[in-house]
Amino acid sequence: LLLSSRCSLFPDHRSLSCIVLAAVVLSDRVAIMISRRLGFVVLALTVVAAMLPGSHGTAHLLASKVILNEHKVENKDLTVQFSIYNVGTSTAQSVVLQDESFSPSEFSLVQGLFTVSWERIPMDSNVTHIVIVRPLADGVYNVSSARLTYTDDSHNTYEGITSSPGFIQVTPYQEFSRRHEHHLVDWLAFLAMSMPTIVFPFLLWYKSYSRYEKLKNKKE
């Protein structure tokens, strides 16, 4: 109102206030025209976008690394299981799991790949990856985490680590076999060695017994 009054009192087209007033009125009129049409379009787009799954969510991966062995034994298989869960609200893309915790000087790889990638892990789903290694010597080892990288729909890259099993005790093979092997050969050897003390007295007795039985039968 102030601007319009100033402009009408001083009808100089080049004055700043007149220019500003004209611009405001024009933009206002244009905005009203456009807004009615655009309003519907914007509303429609918002509704559609809200219905699209994961279009405004983020992926969130939780990963665990677990050793499934009850007994960890020198030169025997060690089963390592990785589980990755997507607890986010959108699909995780280009998921790369990289494990460098088993150095080749201490562990030999029996089966499995240390570095793998999944193209996508949908939300509310999980994947498993297993690697079999073999400790080359007994002792205490510190098994650390594996690294995880992934991106989501908004092309943000995330990096994380899995849980780590920590310190593991690898028992020497001799100690494990003493407790858990069947030792059949040892028992057969024991049987062979104990036979003389039983068999010889038995043979002596049987010799005299059979002779006595024969005499008894002859008498009858």
Partner 1 sequence: MMASAFAVLVILSAFLGAQCSGTCNNPTVVSHAYTTTEPLLSSETVFLVEFELSCESSLSLSALVDDGTTLMPVPRALGVNKYQLSWSMPHKSAKKGTHSIRFFDDEGAAVIRKALRYGDDPSSTAVPLFTIDFQHNGLNRGIWLAPPFIAAIISLLVWWLAHMTKTKLQE
220 binds partner 1, rule: CB under 8 A: no
Choice between 17 and 163, CB closer to partner 1: 163
User: Which residues sit opposite 83 in a β-bridge?
Assistant: 64, 128
184 binds partner 1, rule: CB under 8 A: yes
**Unique residue bearing structure tokens 């460098």:** 100
Q: How far apart are CA 39 and CA 205, in angstroms?
A: 115
Among residues 17, 64, 75, 79, which is the contact residue for partner 1, using CB under 8 A? 79
Among residues 37, 41, 119, 216, which is the contact residue for partner 1, using CB under 8 A? 119
In order, the DSSP letters of 13-57 are TTSHHHHHHHHHHHHHHHHHHHHHHHHHHHHHHHHHHHHSTTTT-
Among residues 110, 137, 204, 215, which is the contact residue for partner 1, using CB under 8 A? 110
Instruction: Write out the binding residues for partner 1, residues 132-161 only, by CB under 8 A.
Output: 132
In angstroms, the Cα distances linking 65 to 15, 128, 142, 146 are 74, 10, 13, 8
For 63-87, b where at least 16 C-beta lie within 10 A, e where not — what string? bbbeeeeeebbbebebbbebbbebe
For partner 1 (CB under 8 A), the number of binding residues is 36
Q: How far is the CB of 84 from partner 1 (least distance, A)?
A: 10
Q: How far is the CB of 52 from partner 1 (least distance, A)?
A: 18
180 binds partner 1, rule: CB under 8 A: yes
64 binds partner 1, rule: CB under 8 A: no
**Unique residue bearing structure tokens 């025997």:** 76
Q: How far apart are CA 143 and CA 64, in angstroms?
A: 13
Task: Please state, as a whole number, how many other Cβ atoms lie within 10 Å of the Cβ of residue 170.
Answer: 23
Choice between 3 and 66, CB closer to partner 1: 66
195 binds partner 1, rule: CB under 8 A: no
Return residues touching partner 1 (CB under 8 A).
68-71, 73, 76-79, 81, 96-97, 110-113, 115-121, 127-130, 132, 180, 182-184, 187, 190-191, 198
